[in-house]
Amino acid sequence: MATDKTKIARQFMEAIPHAVALGMAFIDLGDGEAEMTMPYDTRFVGDPETGVIHGGAVSTLMDTCCGAAVISHPACASGTATIDLRIDYMRPATPGQALSTRAVCYRVTRSVAFVRANAFDDDKTRPVATATGAFTVEGRVS
């Protein structure tokens, strides 16, 4: 069953054109947890003077990773959509460094899944951003 969920989550990510365009890839994927990476790319820089990645690229990485965590959760049967996602930007990402996000789906009700996530550059002690979100549950496994 876990292999099927992994396959579904990977297909979910690969079906999102902007996720593919941003070069997102899975690092790890398991029961209700996902970790993804996005390489540094000058095309995604929000401030040319500093070289810092645009917040929209960071939020896309976090949203996609959260969705994958929901899809991979044992209680969820299939797809999901974002209901609400709050992202707090803690500091600018370091120019030239890839970003990674780890998301955990920590609670699933009949119709809503709740997720937490952190985004990091090479400094794993200080997050670039944190997120909390609510996602739809399409078909709950009993």
**Mean pLDDT, rounded, of the chain:** 90
Tokens describing residue 42? 């000058």
At residue 130, φ and ψ (nearest 5 deg) are -125, 155
At residue 107, φ and ψ (nearest 5 deg) are -155, 135
Q: Which residue has the tokens 């400094």?
A: 123
Angstrom distance (rounded) from CA 71 to CA 67: 6
Q: pLDDT-derived band of residue 1, with 50, 70 and 90 as boundaries?
A: very low
Kindly report which listed range (51-60, 73-82, 83-92, 127-136) carries the lowest average pLDDT score. Answer: 73-82
Angstrom distance (rounded) from CA 30 to CA 3: 9
**2-136: which CATH architecture?**
Roll (3.10)
Residue 129: left if φ>0, alpha if ψ -120 to 50, beta else—which one? Answer: beta
Structural domain boundaries of the chain?
2-136
Comparison of pLDDT for 14 and 141, the residue scoring more: 14
Q: pLDDT-derived band of residue 117, with 50, 70 and 90 as boundaries?
A: very high
Tokens describing residue 95? 């120019």
Check residue 3 and give its pLDDT. 56
pLDDT tens profile 121-130: 999 999 999 9
Check residue 16 and give its pLDDT. 80
Length of the chain: 142
Of the candidates 41, 63, 62, 65, which has an alpha carbon nearest to the alpha carbon of residue 53?
41
pLDDT tens profile 20-37: 889 999 999 989 999 999
